Chains A and B, each alone.
Chain A
Amino acid sequence: MELQAVLMAAGGGSRMMDLTYNTPKPMLPVGNKPLMWYPLNLLERVGFEEVIVITTKEVQKMMSTDPKMKLEVKMKLDVVCIPEDTDMGTADALRHIQQKIKTDILVMSCDLITDAALHEVVDLFRAHNATLAMMMSKAHEFTETVPGQKGKKKTAEQRDFVGVDESGKRLLFMANEADLEEGLSIRKSIMRKHPRMHIKTGLVDAHLYCLKKSVVDFLAENKSISSIRGELVPYLVRKQFSKAANSQTTKDEADEQSQKQKDGNVNLDLHILSRDEPLLQLAQAYSCWNDHRGDMSDAYHGGTLRCYVHIMEQGLCYRVNTLAAYIEANRLIGSDSIIGAGGQIAEKTSIKRSTIGNSVTVKEKVKVTNSIVMHGVTIEEGCNIQGSVICSNAVVGRGADLKYCLVGNGQRIEPEAERTNEVIVGSDQLMEI
């Protein structure tokens, strides 16, 4: 088997608590399908037959009852539950399933909605025998008004600085603005090997990683790394140019180093360096190809650890981890409007550019524009709902006028209410910060 797919569906959705305090993020409806259906569908379309899904018990229960998941996902889902209260990072989760991993893995996050050609990322991984191959996309500006946001959207997101080489494929540098307090410093060894580097900041990480099996083994021994995105990827990118990885040490030297260094760094070297077989090296020596030119070193500068990135220029790529992204994704999935099954829509209603969930009752003379209405909602007569998100099982009283509001789960809006740009949630949810 070549690749095993791992879907991380245990995230809490910490940046959209208003939506996720009742529904876990993987099961949030986007275009009337649960959010995690989208990455699963991508994997199925590309040809995977099995996926390891790491999630919580709550999500597993919801998955088994959801009709869309049962009927439309034909792959075999191997669901691994992790306890909900522990704060497990993505790398911790990988360590948890280390026994199941037999080959290289493709890690995806449940909040990725994309139509990317996965073969581009995997081809980079295969052709260059890379340790890490990931995908990034140009960030989109969210144009829709987000309920509950007063004033101009402040850039709470910190930028990522991504350095790639001339070809745009090799990943040379990756850091988040938060880690760069004194400024961006680049090691001389990188500049010597890649004198031309393009540093990009407007990129969104799709959280789609192809990792070699040796990286998972390395994680199992090195328990200090808990997040793939935050710690493992920058570590691997830095390690490409560290002295140990480049000196092509023989086994003896590697043992010496293991006595000198205490941390798990050297284990990675042993994992990685012992991989290049003599015949492959012979073929590379005979081949008249080089990935760079201008200096006297061999292909890949003799390094065995390589990280590659595929930057999507066009196409859809969304990480649904904020409210704005959620609304945008809904807007894109439904071309005009989507109306779920089992509901009742009365006469004289107008529904434009909206997503209506299952079992929704809409009474007469209601106008719904640009909104997301989740399952089980009741909207009484004469309401006017614009640009809002109404979560499941909420009730909107007659004649209510909601503009750019977010109505939480199970809330009741009193009749004749007029709300603009508000987040209406229950008092019990207000306690969670």
Chain B
Amino acid sequence: ELSKEEKQRLRKEKKSQKKNKEKKDEQDALASEREKNCAPSTLSQPAPAASPPVQAAVSEPPAPAAGAPPADKPAKSKAELKAERRARQEAERASKPGKKGDPGPQSTAGKPKAPPSELQPVVKRLPEHVQVDNPEVLKKLAKKLERQQIPLRSDYGYKVSLFSHLHQYSRKAPLTQQLSIPSTVIHPVIVRLGLQYSQGIVAGSNARSVALLHAFKQVIRDYVTPPNEELSRDMVNKLKPYISFLNQCRPLSASMGNAIKYIKKEISNIPSQCKEEEAKTKLQDCIDRYIREKIVLAASAISKYAIEKISDGDVILVYGCSSLVNHILCEASEKHRKFRVIVVDSRPRLEGREALRRLVKHGISCTYVLISALSYVLPEVSKVFLGAHALLANGYVMSRVGTSQIALVAKAFNVPVLVCCETYKFCERVQTDSFVSNELDDPDDLMVTRKGKTQLEGWQQVSQLGLLNLVYDVTPPDFVDLVITDLGMIPCTSVPVVLRVKNVDQ
């Protein structure tokens, strides 16, 4: 039992410690900030070639938009920054009292962290969606959602300890339970989209992105600029709660994240003298162009390259239902290539059935196996075509759980593995394992009812039992022989080059 004075003293100590830590971090941030800008002023400076052109303006709104495209480059600039920062730290510490007055926004705006729009990381640089077991982060998230008037979706069920840092939601508890029925805060199109995401009606990376862009088109069409506000700034603020809502319904995919970044950039690039109607049509055209170029035309470009790789008499193995791989195979069969397909499927999603249906409808002869039979069918397979959810900056392929197994066993059998992925799915993230950042689906999906009996019905009552329903896994580049993108056929290790080229273009 501590006395009152001792408690007060402890509290004061904790506070001062926290303050010192924050000050130090701000110092580091300010130091590197200054280093990049080469000037103590707050004007935007042309930065060194490697770093992104950061507009370190004090005003926040343009910062997220402008900072967003070059923001996600932790791979290269992190190392450079660290070295520069260490060199500068000593100099800065000497002149500490003078630099205190700079505003906080500078540090967050200038930092090349990797925030998708609403995931403002703490100085620790971890996105909040992988810190679910940290109560402070949860509190911050709850506060943010409250400010945006979006209900917080609560986690469900027991989480396996290795994945307790991720969200796990139940499909039977949709977010709409806590919303008012004629939804006023959130545009009805977004509510519908969120429902379709959480129920799995719109599933698959391309489908989700297209549906998202379609919803944004509706939102832009119904948008009215309030008086005394600029469209370029206000619309981005209007989109933020919608994105939070969609994130609560189902965590955003990498392709969706890139699409959102693109839209935000386009919105903030609207000149202020542009009339509202003009701006709206311009934005809608941008969205249409993005879909046409990055998704539809990219798919036809990829299938052109891929069809070169398919020869007559091939036995092709596919896994799950990838819209791109299905498209490639259907085009190949239309071009009269003779091949047959083995569709590998896995529980609980059993997406392979849908792929099987589409391929058979096109007249391709298919075989259907579950993933447990993979090593039995591989001897007769000539190549493996895989789709990807995202391609990470270190060459790893993030795809549906089970893909890495397929790639591993195929490598063991010396079967070439070709990954097909559009460039808009290339992501700045770096991941080497499937644990840190993943998605946990509803554990009740693993329950299956056969002959009227459900064996796992009471799984929550068994204390030592946890059900794990992972959605994604990462495949190392050693197992992937070729990546077919709309830019051409590249090895897996060239992904960072593509990313760099993309960013320089922007």
Contact = CB atoms under 8 A, between A and B. Distances in A.
Contacts of B174: 119, 123
Nearest to B354: A288
B213 interface: yes
A298 to B, nearest CB: 9
A178 interface: no
B195 A3 contact: no
Given A285-B207, A288-B204, A289-B354, 4 more contacts: A2-B188, A118-B181, A279-B213, A296-B357
Contacts of A288: 203-204, 207, 320-321, 323, 351, 354-355
A287 B253 CA distance: 14
Contact residues of B: prevailing secondary structure: helix
A361 interface: no
A117 B174 CA distance: 12
Nearest to A287: B207
A268 interface: no
A290 B360 CA distance: 15
B344 to A, nearest CB: 14
Interface string B342-373: 00000000010111010011000000000000
Contacts of A47: 179-182, 184
Contact of A296 (B200, B214, B360): B360
B196 interface: yes
Contacts of A279: 210-211, 213-214, 217, 291
A179 interface: no
A282 B299 CA distance: 13
A3 B201 contact: no
Contacts of A1: 182, 184, 188
Given A119-B174, A122-B181, A289 B200 contact: yes
Contacts of B268: none
A150 to B, nearest CB: 45
Contact of A280 (B195, B214, B353): B214
A46 B213 CA distance: 29
Interface in A241-300: 277, 279-280, 282-290, 293, 296
Nearest to B327: A286
A127 interface: yes
Contact of A2 (B191, B195, B199, B357): B191
B355 A128 contact: no
B11 interface: no
29 contacts: A2-B191, A4-B182, A46-B180, A47-B181, A47-B182, A48-B180, A49-B184, A117-B177, A119-B177, A123-B174, A126-B176, A127-B201, A279-B210, A279-B211, A280-B211, A280-B214, A283-B210, A285-B207, A286-B206, A286-B323, A287-B203, A287-B204, A287-B211, A287-B323, A288-B320, A288-B321, A293-B357, A296-B360, A296-B361
Interface string B201-236: 111101110110110010000000000000000000
A64 B210 CA distance: 51
Contacts of A127: 192, 195-196, 199, 201
Contacts of B203: 287-289
A114 interface: no
Nearest to B195: A127
Given A47-B181, A128-B201, A296-B361, A283 B188 contact: no
A280 B189 CA distance: 12
Interface string B401-442: 000000000000000000000000000000000000000000
Contacts of A3: 181-182
Interface string B331-350: 00000000000000000000
B201 A287 contact: yes
Given A2-B188, A127-B192, A129-B192, A46 B181 contact: yes
Contacts of B320: 288
Interface string A43-74: 00011110000000000000000000000000
Contacts of A287: 201-204, 207, 211, 323
Contacts, number: 104
A283 B202 contact: yes
Closest 8 CB pairs of A and B: A47-B180, A288-B321, A287-B207, A286-B207, A2-B188, A279-B214, A283-B211, A286-B323
Given A2-B182, A280-B214, A288-B323, A122 B176 contact: yes
A49 B185 CA distance: 13
Nearest to B192: A126
Interface in A345-389: none
B250 to A, nearest CB: 13
B350 to A, nearest CB: 9
A2 B182 CA distance: 5
B400 to A, nearest CB: 10
B358 to A, nearest CB: 9
A126 B195 contact: yes
Contact of B207 (A48, A49, A117, A283): A283
B394 to A, nearest CB: 27
Interface string A118-140: 11001100111100000000000
Q: Please indicate which of the listed interface residues A47, A127, A280 has the most CB atoms of chain B within 10 Å of its own CB.
A: A127
B184 to A, nearest CB: 8
A48 B181 contact: yes
A211 B217 CA distance: 24
A344 B361 CA distance: 78
Interface in A288-328: 288-290, 293, 296
B176 A119 contact: yes
Interface in B161-192: 174, 176-177, 179-184, 188, 191-192
Nearest to B206: A286
Contacts of A285: 207, 323
Contacts of A277: 214
A256 to B, nearest CB: 28
A279 B353 CA distance: 24
A282 B201 CA distance: 13
A48 B183 CA distance: 9
A2 B210 contact: no
Contacts of B291: 279, 282
A374 to B, nearest CB: 33
Nearest to A288: B321
Nearest to B217: A279
A46 to B, nearest CB: 5
A326 B361 CA distance: 56
Nearest to A126: B192
Contacts of B206: 286
A289 B354 CA distance: 7
Contacts of B181: 2-3, 46-48, 106, 118-119, 122
Contacts of A117: 177
A285 B361 CA distance: 14
Contacts of B196: 127
A280 B196 CA distance: 12
A416 to B, nearest CB: 55
Contacts of B296: 282
B355 A289 contact: no
Contacts of A129: 192
A289 B201 contact: yes
Contacts of B180: 46-48
